[in-house]
Structure 1
Amino acid sequence: MVTQYKCPNCGSDMAFDSDSGKLSCPSCGRQDDIETFPEANIQRKFEPEEAKEYHCENCGAVILTEANTTATHCSFCGAPVVLADRLSGDFAPAKVIPFTVSKEEAVAAFRKWTRNGRLTPRGFMSGDRIKKMTGMYVPFWLYDIEGTADVAAVATRIRQYQRGDTIYTETDFYDVRREIDISYLKVPADASEKMDDELMDKLEPYNYGDLKDFRMPYLAGFLAEKYDYDDEALFSRVQSKIVPYIDSFISTTVSGYSSVSYTDKHIEAKKNKVYYTLLPVWMVYYDFENKEHTFAMNGQTGKVVGRPPISKAKVVGWFTGIAASAFVVMKAISYAVGGVLW
């Protein structure tokens, strides 16, 4: 099902505006709250489930999508559309964090990240490249975790003292036992096969105080995908993220000893609640010297990760320019003081 949000004033397609948090019309400037948007102005067209081909209600053009895409644009008229049938049933998100960083802000951060192209390959900062800046809702699972730890250890306290000319070392041994309950809320794991897990981890943290109940209008004007992996498939990865934190917390509870030797340590992390959530990311993909580079920005906090490609020729030219400038400066100083260099 293709869903488009028509402006009640002029009939143009509305999209979600990250600055106002509302549906916004690019033609007449009207803005509407998502919660109260008139049902009569939501235009829907049903297609066979999981179809990869849809038709734009505006211009009639064919919209080709991958099976996991849930929100996109018409390539011909640019109208934002949401493929609502792919957001129902088991694929219906529970929560969403809306974009708060606009495309203009993301582009400005991209320029700063590349230092305005001073050392990037020729043509890298072209308008076409910047136009490919994509706002995407990435599917995540958020886990509320109940962690437990049952720990046994042998600890020592060592004391040295001197009597006369003799130095004595006294060692006391202790049996240590800890039973710990600890919980973690909203532990994220990206559920898209396309996304690099390490890259998505580096975009954390998100402010989960801004989580909202999912509504489809938040997706209008952005790309979005449904999950490839369910919460069971990703839980082992979440456990691997949580266990080191539990282990570190255990260490804080066994303090004041000279040494601690663990004889038994059983750590377990269990799911309490799981939330299928869409999180905002700005992205640009590019290839350079047979290697893919990615610019990624947290669409809520503005945090940037990734490394831009570097042109070796520009680096050589930059250092040559610095050396030449330094030579001129040194010459000028030598003449100013009446000396001769070299």
Structure 2
Amino acid sequence: MSMPPPFPPQPEDTASASAEDAALLATRCPGCGSQLGFAAGTSSMRCLMCGYFAEIAHDPDASVDEHDYETWAANNAGRAVASLGGHVLRCEGCGATTESTAISTACQFCGGHLVGITPTEGVIPPEAVVPFALDQTAARAAFTKWVTSRFFGPRALKDVDAEESLRGTYLPYWTFDARTTSEYEGQRGDDYTVKVDDDRTETRTRWSHRSGTVRRSFDDIVVPGSAQLTPKEARGAGSADLAKAQPYRAEYVAGFSTVRYDVDPPRGLETAKQVMAGVIRADVERAIGGDRQRISQIRTAYAAVMFKLVLMPFWIATYMYAGKQWQVVINASTGKVTGKHPVSAVKVALTVAGGLVLLVLALYLYSRTRT
């Protein structure tokens, strides 16, 4: 059985763990011994204490590889990621070990940065990462701007500070490529005008049968690889700018939590096909032509399906208000903010009342003009 490719080679300062434990990225500052973490918006790791910067060494020959879906499916039939275990991480700071399914996390004892190097057997490692562009300060500013712009939010909402719960998290996303061939059947509608009587015409439609084939090449259809965000939150936050993606290196995730995918490639592909279906339907409508279209059937065959796993950055803010927990998601690549917030019943009532007053006034003025 062939296995997914290993993580890309790491720099020479990578610490190797025992045979039973996963390797651990060296995250200690060579100057003061404090923690090194990826500095958002840069290409470096930075010491949290002395400010030392260590440029991330990039392999000029590194590339972002994709998996052939048919080959992967043949070799991994019946293997769900939920049935695969985690791996053991050893903290470079205090020496404690912890088992986790996450790619990166924090030591539960000293808060040190844990980054797994050796993947769990059967788990597809990330091929690419879109690094954090927004640091915590920028994320906090985006959160504050979002909160203060909620018109129907209670006035006290503007005093909410989510700094303590603001956490940087990489979430997994799948991208799919495919060549599609779609056979369709339907009807083309051409409008024409007929004179009904001396003063009136009527538009009617002449329908004719149509069938044919449309082809399309899809590249990088992005779908979530985790249920960490609800579908609505995922749509609202959007995905990161893939043009900024870099070949995966463990340094990029140091200091952030990184969630392992829980949406397997088959489920991801089904979601991607739904996205493709909308584009294919639009292609079919254009191929049928006319003023109107009726589509009775579309049969699509997929070829050369390729996929890869990309880590995308988000700041997730969780805050309490009126005894209830609320979550806001900040896309750390694009700056887009989405989330839920409490609604002030008083503001809603005043807005409705104001609308009714304006409606009554408009009706009154209109009646006066008619008299």
Q: Unaligned stretches of 5+ in structure 2?
A: 1-21, 60-84, 355-371
The answer to whether the Cα contact below 8 Å between 1:4 and 1:81 also exists between their aligned partners in 2 is: no
The answer to whether the Cα contact below 8 Å between 1:87 and 1:226 also exists between their aligned partners in 2 is: no
Q: Of residues 195, 209, 213 in structure 2, which corresponds to 1:179?
A: 213
- Distance of aligned partners of 1:292 and 1:261 in 2 relative to their CA distance in 1, 3 Å threshold: same
CA RMSD after TM alignment: 3.7
Q: Of residues 247, 267, 272 in structure 1, which corresponds to 2:281?
A: 247
Compare CA radii of gyration and give the structure with the larger one. 1
Cα deviation for residue 279 of structure 1 reads 0.8
CA deviations on 1:150-203 (whole Å, 9 max, x unpaired) are: 1223324344467x9798999765442331111222112222243323312322
Q: Does 1:272 align with 2:305?
A: yes
- Distance of aligned partners of 1:110 and 1:171 in 2 relative to their CA distance in 1, 3 Å threshold: closer
CA deviations on 1:7-46 (whole Å, 9 max, x unpaired) are: 3333332111112221112333232222269xxxxxxxxx
Q: Does 1:31 align with 2:50?
A: no
Q: Of residues 223, 246, 259 in structure 1, which corresponds to 2:257?
A: 223
- How many residues align? The count is 301
Identity rate, percent: 22
Cα deviation for residue 99 of structure 1 reads 0.6
Instruction: Quote the residue 2:42 is aligned against.
Output: 20
Q: SS state of the match for residue 5, structure 1?
A: coil
Instruction: Quote the residue 1:333 is aligned against.
Output: none
TM-score by length of 1: 0.74
Cα deviation for residue 56 of structure 1 reads 2.9
In 1, the alpha carbon distance for the partners of 2:159 and 2:116 equals 33
Q: SS state of the match for residue 267, structure 2?
A: helix
In 2, the alpha carbon distance for the partners of 1:5 and 1:213 equals 20
Instruction: Quote the residue 1:236 is aligned against.
Output: 270
Q: Unaligned stretches of 5+ in structure 1?
A: 38-48, 324-342
- Tell me which protein shows more strand as a share of its residues: 1
The answer to whether the Cα contact below 8 Å between 2:90 and 2:114 also exists between their aligned partners in 1 is: no
CA deviations on 1:272-302 (whole Å, 9 max, x unpaired) are: 2100111111102345567552200111000
Instruction: Quote the residue 2:235 is aligned against.
Output: 201
The answer to whether the Cα contact below 8 Å between 1:121 and 1:309 also exists between their aligned partners in 2 is: no
In 2, the alpha carbon distance for the partners of 1:146 and 1:27 equals 51
CA deviations on 1:109-150 (whole Å, 9 max, x unpaired) are: 111111199826679724xx4121011011111111323321
Instruction: Quote the residue 2:368 is aligned against.
Output: none
The answer to whether the Cα contact below 8 Å between 1:133 and 1:282 also exists between their aligned partners in 2 is: yes
Q: Of residues 89, 100, 104 in structure 1, which corresponds to 2:133?
A: 100
The answer to whether the Cα contact below 8 Å between 2:27 and 2:92 also exists between their aligned partners in 1 is: no
The answer to whether the Cα contact below 8 Å between 2:90 and 2:97 also exists between their aligned partners in 1 is: yes
- Distance of aligned partners of 1:156 and 1:9 in 2 relative to their CA distance in 1, 3 Å threshold: same
Instruction: Quote the residue 1:44 is aligned against.
Output: none
- Distance of aligned partners of 1:27 and 1:244 in 2 relative to their CA distance in 1, 3 Å threshold: same
The answer to whether the Cα contact below 8 Å between 1:70 and 1:87 also exists between their aligned partners in 2 is: no
CA deviations on 1:84-104 (whole Å, 9 max, x unpaired) are: 234776332111111111111
